[in-house]
Structures are given as C-alpha cells and as structure tokens.
Chains A and B, each alone.
With several copies, the nearest count.
Chain A
C-alpha cells in the first residue's frame, strides 16, 4: 500500500544521523522532525536565520520575533543560534547543512527538479528552494510517485520550469525509495505491499530494477 505522509517522513528519518544539521522544507519534510530516532540528536536549520529550531510555542511563550521559514511561530532548541539571511544561505550554499529534505512537482532521471512554478497558475516564487537544491550535497526529495490521475512525477525530462539542474540524487515517494545515477532512476526499496510492476507503471523515466527490491522497514 502507498505510504501515508507520516510514513514517508518516518522513512526519511531513517536517513538521519546523530549530529546532522538538517533543513526540512514545508509539507511532508516538516513531519520528519517528529520521527527523529531516540538517542539521536539533529539540529534543524530554518533558512530565515535559525539553527536549532524547537517545537511550536505555547500560547504563553509565543513570540512574533521567532518564526520558521514557513512563517510559523516556533521556539529555539538548546544550543540554537540566530543569524542574518546572508549567513543563513552561506551555510546552505557552502554545503554545511548535512541533509536537506524538500518536496517537488517533478523530478527527472538527470537529477533535475521542478518544484516552484506551474506556468499559467499564480507564481508565488521559489523562496529558498533554489538555494537549497544548489547548495546541498545530500538532498532527499519527498513527493507522491504520481498525480491522482496516474501521471508520473518521475520523468525522463521535467516538463515544468526547473528549480535546480542535476542536483537530486534521492527521491522518496509514497511507493518507492529511488536513487538517481547515470541518467537513470534506480529502485532501492518499495513501500510495503507495493509491487515492482506498480512502480514501473507509474515511473515515466528509465527505471533500473535490481533482482531483489526489498520492502521498506519501519
């Protein structure tokens, strides 16, 4: 069965390591913070200028001067630091963030990503997404494998305007965990109960399938 949003976040969280500085995008990526394994510490970077993002505040501790990149009120974790936007993106662009998790509309077999703009629809802007995909070595894209109408989001070539070129190496969808290498999608794992045939059907780009495709473990 296709993974729920929570399960996608849970699988991504398995890629965390103790001591990782992590930037989580809006949506499913945000949920990853709820699945950080016990006895493991990660620090969340929020690109508006906060390293060490904590939980949401209570009504009593809410502070208009303390928000995350999604403009939500947050708190600071112990050991947090605050900095300006240039420093924040120096951190991101300079490759100092260990893992970036973000959503996308489409990803293609060359590692291109489209995530910010659908021509003809209202364009709200890329925010920090272009900087994040250009700056990070270690990115996981989370998204549904295909649209509700069964149109694949893992393409041979992105159809929408790109957020970044050749920068995506790993994609976790509701159906599969996939690596992008040598211009091809490589199937690493499948969601529990999802068949390889189903994944093949919903992957438009070239898909390399190993002899054994293990189910994800939770």
Chain B
C-alpha cells in the first residue's frame, strides 16, 4: 500500500521543493478553508518572488497576508484583495503586482487547468477592463471573451478529512476553491483535520479523489473568523 500512502509527517516535508519564483495556487475564501499551516511554512522557508493564485490575500496577520511583510509575493491573481494595510501599501508602491480576476472565472481557470482545458469562453468580463487584450467572440448572438487556464507548481489545499490515499472530504463552505486548487498543482499538498484509514470514507462521498493529491499532512487549525456575525440566542429559537 506504500505507493498510495500520501501522508507526510512534517510541514517541511510537505512543502519540500518549493522554490523562489514559483506559482502557488491556494484554496480558501477569505479566511475560510485556508491551508493555514502550509502558508506558515512558506513564510518560514522565506521563499520569495512567488506568484500566488487565490481568491483573496488574507488579512494583515493571518492567511496569505503573512507573506507580505517579507515581500515574498511578487504577484497575486485574485478576485478580491486589500483587507490589509501592508497589501495596500505594496500595491500602491508598485511592489506587488495584482491581477484582478472575476471570482467565477478564477474558479473555472483552476478547474480548466486541472482538467487539461487550456482555454474557455465566458461572458464574464466582456466589455470591462478584464477583457483587455483578450479575444472576443459571439456565440448565438451573445458576446464572450476567451480566458486561459491556470496551473501551479504547487497547490496548497485545506480539507476536513482524508484517508491515507489522499481521498478528500471538505466541510461546509470551507470547500470553496479547495477542490479546484487540488487539481491544478504539479505538486498538490493537502492539510487536513483528520486522517482516517483507507476504506473508511464512502467512495460515493469523496469530494476529491486521491489521484490529485501528492502529499497529505494532519494539522491543527486556528480557523479565524473574519466577520463574526451573530444574532441573540433568544431570537434564533423560533428558527
């Protein structure tokens, strides 16, 4: 069974081979479902010149934002950024390249990258700054632009559970970009809350088959909440 056992036991091993100027695709939406410890390992390694592909760039002291102070990120491809001051400073100073990509297009680019689809047409962004330099074409009287797929040298992913073969299950909206990122990395590294024995996961209920996963590590997670919104316990009773 050794051949399919993807488990590694240290974060150093998990991110081995990551080098300066590589492209890293990260799962997560805001701070939800982000590979916290894999990001910390990138910070610890001090890798520079990274191109990051991720829907967001974390906050000042959590998520991908922690890679900003040491200028580890050269470029970020994201749909929504700027929840932190250092990001803003670097972007305004021209130290950080930002390629804004519509959220759905970004998701589809990752999926396409993993699926061997080099490019696809989408109506999203037609007639907007996103369309600049891209081919435009009509199908059935509607306007579309051509978008190319994305792959990364590494993909870093957070899942909930996995078996040792790397079959993954995600939990609630922490799924988001993670299954897509998982398909699009030359080396896909996944951290999970729990590793179970092979055979424990229902084959019908696996979100990401292990074929996409190269390395797997069990971690502990802070799971910081970005917008903590609650209602009083009493009013919720009638829900």
> CA separation between A110 and B33, bound complex, in Å?
40
Q: Is the CB of A67 within 8 A of B173?
A: yes
Contact B129 A117 (CB under 8 A): yes
A65 contacts the other chain (Cβ, under 8 Å)? yes
**Residues 64-85 of chain A, each 1 if its beta carbon lies under 8 Å from chain B, else 0:** 1111101111111011111111
On whether the beta carbons of A128 and B79 are closer than 8 Å, the reply is: yes
Q: How far is the CA of A18 from the CA of B175 in the complex (A)?
A: 29
- Chain A's nearest CB lies how many Å from the CB of B215? 13
CB neighbours (8 Å) of B198 from chain A are: 78-79
Nearest residue in B to A39 (C-beta to C-beta)? B2
Interface size (B, Cβ < 8 Å)? 83
**Residues on the B chain within 8 Å of A161, using CB:** 128-129
Q: Given A19-B3, A70-B227, A164-B128, A59–B233 Cβ distance below 8 Å?
A: yes
Contact yes or no, B210 A126, CB < 8 A? no
Chain A residues with CB under 8 A of B177: 84-85
Give B28 Cβ to nearest chain A Cβ, in Å: 10
* A160 to B54 alpha-carbon distance, docked (Å): 26
**Inter-subunit contact B2/A19 (CB<8 Å):** yes
Determine if A112 and B127 form an interchain contact, defined as CB atoms under 8 angstroms apart: yes
Determine if B223 and A65 form an interchain contact, defined as CB atoms under 8 angstroms apart.
yes
Task: Check if B46 is an interface residue, CB within 8 A of chain A.
Answer: no
B103 and A49 contact, CB distance less than 8 A? no
Closest to B78 in A: A125
Pick 16 A–B contacts, CB within 8 A, sort by A: A45-B211, A48-B32, A56-B230, A61-B236, A62-B225, A66-B173, A79-B4, A85-B103, A85-B106, A96-B183, A96-B211, A124-B81, A127-B102, A131-B105, A134-B122, A165-B128
